[in-house]
Structure 1
Amino acid sequence: MTTFEERTTVHAFRDDALGEHDAVGLAEAIRRGEVGALEVARDAAARVRAVETRLNAVQVHIDVPAHGRGAGGALAGVPTFVKDNTDYLGLPTGHGSAAFAPRPARRHAPFVRQLLSSGVTVLGKTRLPEFGFSPTTEYEDSEPVRNPWHTDYSAGGSSGGSAALVAAGAVPIAHANDGGGSIRIPAACCGLVGLKPTRGRVVANAQGRQLPIDIVTDGIVSRSVRDTAAFLAAAETHWRNPRLPPLGLVEGPAERRLRIGFLLDSPNGVRSDAATRAAVTETVATLERLGHTVEPVELAIDPRFTEDFLTYWGMLSFLIGVTGRTLGADFDRRRMDGLSRGLREAYLKNWQRTPGVLRRLKRTREAYATAFRGLDLVLSPVLAHTTPPIGHLDPTVPYPALIERILAYVAFTPVNNVVGTPSISVPAASATEDGLPIGVMFSGRPGDERTLLEVAFALEADRPFRRVQDL
């Protein structure tokens, strides 16, 4: 194993127009005229070029002067990237797959329009694992996305390219989406803030809207809590779901004291490793010191939840294999990677279970609601063990071993996707022996992103999050 002294750390922080600003700070500097939006875009593009050869995070890079900048909005002029499973007018959408040749999108996806309404400048598209199925951004036939904190390790997935760029300081925020943990997992791996909003908080994802259970929600990854809060407030000015309570701009911790439940091990029986358990227990101690009441809680979900979610996951791969020609006329499901093929083949052996799987998954919201009786939030690990090295979850690993490793790793996040509830990953105060970040996760009631942001603000204020540029 690489020692701390031998580690390879990558970051782009320098004395330029971006400095060490987060998105809110950078937007304020642009509004005050201290820096120009075009200067910021050019410097961000230079930062991306500086780290890309070592991180492999970018799928498509836009020529900034030819594409202009956001003209208004709370985050006007802030550079960002869109994840390459979401359409951006004129750019190909590849979904991380070698199974087809992507063609340029004819229009912006609805979420991209919502993102652009905040005034951001899009510099390109970030890489993801094939169809977002994997919790690491690795491939059979190309270089993996690497973690800026230590390039021998995974950046997480599926929003791994976005997380790597933000953590490395190339851009302050980047688009991410989450169908089983894909915002929160890379946030945990890369020391970022990653909030999966309530289902319906932002405009519906086109793919998720067609599913029997819409598990996919869009958002961002960021280096500060206020950036995530600012994005959600800006998104709400573009479109607000009248069925959810308004959120507005959350600007800091609340005065109220919360009742928070915590769990160390996954409800599906997966036991967390020692470093992850320590990160949660340290967070419990901090919350108690801040005046909150924290107590153990049980989430009594159906013991078949993991198997059911895996079946649902396999159904998605099967559906892509059937409908893939809508992505490209040359789509060939035989060129899908080992994880996608394994999921599809496993589903075909058990497809008749689908009606029961859907019924049980939909009932998960009852167990979730029961766990929240008398509680405001639930604290847990994001992942059952710390960030794995590159190769551990590579899609070339034989499927039986690969899926066993994935299920032993992604043991907490999918519940929120099935139930549709909000959940946030924030960096813990502690780190691994190699100095890698560890994330802890707060889950909330439907529509209650405010409480998640307030407790995240409190933790950030108590002990500012570690920064890769300080290593």
Structure 2
Amino acid sequence: MHDLFATHDALAVAGLIKARKLDARELLDHTLRRLRDANEELNAVADLYAGELLERSVAAAGDGPFRGIPYLVKQLMAECAGTPTTLGSRFFAREPVSAADSAAVARMRRAGLVIVGRTNTSEFGLAPTTEPAFGGPTRNPWRLDLSPGGSSGGSAAMVAARVLPMAHATDGGGSIRIPASLCGLFGLKPSRGRISLAPIGETLAGAGVQHCVSISVRDSAALLDATAGAQPGDPYGAPPPAGTFLEAASRPPGRLRIAVMRRPVGGAALEPALVRTIERTAKLLEDLGHHVEEAYPDYDAERLNEAFWRVMCANTWTNLQVRANGRTPGPDDIEPVTRLYAERGRAVTADEYIRAVQTFHRTGRRLGAFFEAYDVLLSTTLAITHLPLGRVRTDRSADEFEKAVAPLTPFTAVCNATGIPAMSLPLDWTDGGLPIGLHFAARYGAEEILYSLAGQLERARPWRDRRPPPVRSKRGHPC
């Protein structure tokens, strides 16, 4: 059982449990031991359940496709009954526990997942790394001096280490796809409204979504089947698929029209290693029968970036006020960049906010026109190959922070602003053996196309056996 998730995905292990070839309780106890041991090295789990809380999680798991599979939920954009949601912040560490699950978490449980803890995140999810002052930095199992990315880095680190087959993640500007790229995982950001954010209405003017990072494509697809759908009163919902996402993942995609970007829109040229990986992927796609050509969507990247930070700042201020419930954060309660953004957000006028949201919508229409001519847009996920710990600092100026963030989000954030689905696949590797994610985006509501293409690419260039060195506990044995 020790290395089970290195050879089996979640659906396969759930199948063993259903066939009574594997005891669910033994799997749970074994996974909890591995999580504790691996966490000594990775610092990825902020809260690991035990006692009555764990037993309630076991009892709440339904008889769905993931029956008996242990699962971690990020400390952001999701409420788990009986635990606080800290947002990676010291200021909210003492918050009252959630009275009920959020809608998506309730669906995860009905799908059979046993929630066993909460994963580390950057404070408020602002940074595309996972190095909060509260909880400390999460390390990348590929190399411990590197960040797993963020803000879903805690989830990605544990899945990359093969302690779990998948874990919850959220994405407001790339926070599913960035850690998927840096950790060698599959990560799909769904369309706006695909998974309900109830009981809240939306986040980041619709830019924020949630789903998971996983080792296999089909686990991600099956989980989206289980969690997708609007709740009564949701402000919007994505169009329903023609079939299931799981079916799409095993179905040939047909001949797709694929546009290739060798640089960000309005940005500088990529380093040669990243250009080469795009070219190798383009050649693979051509060999698979797709039409591939270089093309770029037409939108104002600088104006979109300004709008994005304005929306981010306004949301930071508002969320801080709402969740603080009248409390005022002290000098050490929140990180300097969080405080700077909150103060900027406090000064955002209604006119400025509405214009920023209109920029989101204007850009969405530009991309909508682009996807009339193309089915998929290909780039790398990031404009860098790796992220050293400490490169993105939240204790410096906002300008320094944004300069460090820029190479992590030039391909990802536009998908959030416009609500379109996008995914990162670990299809290439640096000369030093680190994973490189390739980024694929599609028109709004077209997750089926992405899953179908992802399944084809997973079969053509499998990545399961490309895994980091075994994580070792402080006692010296492999996790």
Whether these two folds match at TM > 0.5 is yes
Q: 1:342 aligns with which of 340, 343, 353?
A: 340
- Give the whole-Å Cα distance in 2 for the aligned partners of 1:417 and 1:170: 29
| 2:24 aligned partner | 37
The whole-number CA distance in structure 2 between the counterparts of 1:268 and 1:206 is 37
What is the CA-CA distance between 1:184 and the residue it aligns to? 0.8
Q: Return the offset for 1:169.
A: 1.1
Q: How many Å apart are 1:246 and its aligned residue?
A: 4.0
The residue aligned with 2:260 is 262
Q: Distance in 2 between matches of 1:242 and 1:137?
A: 30
- TM-score after normalising by structure 2: 0.89
Superposed counterparts of 1:37-436, under 5 Å: 37-63=24-50, 66-67=55-56, 68=58, 70-85=61-76, 86-100=78-92, 101-140=94-133, 142-207=135-200, 209-211=201-203, 213-236=205-228, 243-248=239-244, 249-250=246-247, 251-254=249-252, 256-302=254-300, 303-326=302-325, 329=327, 331-332=329-330, 335-347=333-345, 351=349, 353-429=352-428, 431-436=429-434
> When the two structures are aligned, how many residues end up with a matched partner?
455
Q: 3-state SS of the aligned residue for 1:153?
A: coil
- For 1:192, the aligned partner's letter is L
SS in 2 for 1:468: coil
Equivalent-residue separation in structure 2 for 1:130 and 1:464 (angstroms): 34
Aligned mates of 1:18, 1:353 — CA distance in 2: 48
| CA offsets 1:282-336 (integer angstroms, 9 cap, x no match) | 111100011111111111112411111111111122213333423x857548622
Q: Is the 8 A contact 1:172 1:222 kept in 2?
A: yes
Equivalent residue letter for 1:244: P
In structure 2, distance between residues paired with 1:253 and 1:455: 9
Query: Gapped runs of 5+ residues in structure 1?
Result: 1-13
Contact 2:184/2:437, CA 8 A, preserved across alignment:
yes
Query: For the residues of structure 1 that align with 2:380 and 2:6, how far apart are their CA atoms?
Result: 32
CA contact (8 A) 2:180 2:213 kept: yes
1:313 and 1:238 map into 2 onto residues whose CA distance is 24
SS in structure 2 at match of 1:286: helix
Which has the higher mean CA deviation after the structures are superposed, 339-348 or 132-141?
Answer: 339-348
| Contact kept in structure 1, 2:204 and 2:315, CA below 8 Å | no
Which deviates the most, 80-89 or 251-260? 251-260
Contact 1:324 1:331 in 2 (8 A): no
| Residue 96 of structure 1, CA deviation | 0.1
Residues 417-467 of structure 1 show CA distances to partners (whole Å, capped at 9, x for unaligned) of 1111111111122x2243221111111111111110111111111111152
* Identical-pair percentage: 33
Return closer, same or farther for 1:272/1:313 CA change in 2, 3 Å cut-off.
farther
- The alignment's TM-score, normalised by the length of structure 1, stands at 0.90
Structure 2 residue identity aligned to 1:218: Q
CA distance in 2, matches of 1:244, 1:109: 21
Gaps of 5+ in 2: 471-479
The answer as to whether partners of 1:140 and 1:394 remain within 8 angstroms in 2 is no
* Counterpart contact for 1:157–1:186, Cα < 8 Å: yes
Residue 342 of structure 1 aligns to a residue in which SS?
A: helix
The alpha-carbon distance between structure 1 residues 420 and 168, as it changes in their structure 2 partners (threshold 3 A), is same
Deviations 1:110-164 (A, max 9, x none): 1101111211111111111001111000123542011111111011111111111
Cα offset for 1:255? 5.3
Q: Name the CA shift for 1:126/1:374 in 2 (closer, same or farther; >3 Å).
A: same
Amino acid at match of 2:122: P
Match of 1:21 among 3, 8, 12: 8
> Residue 408 of structure 1: CA displacement?
3.0
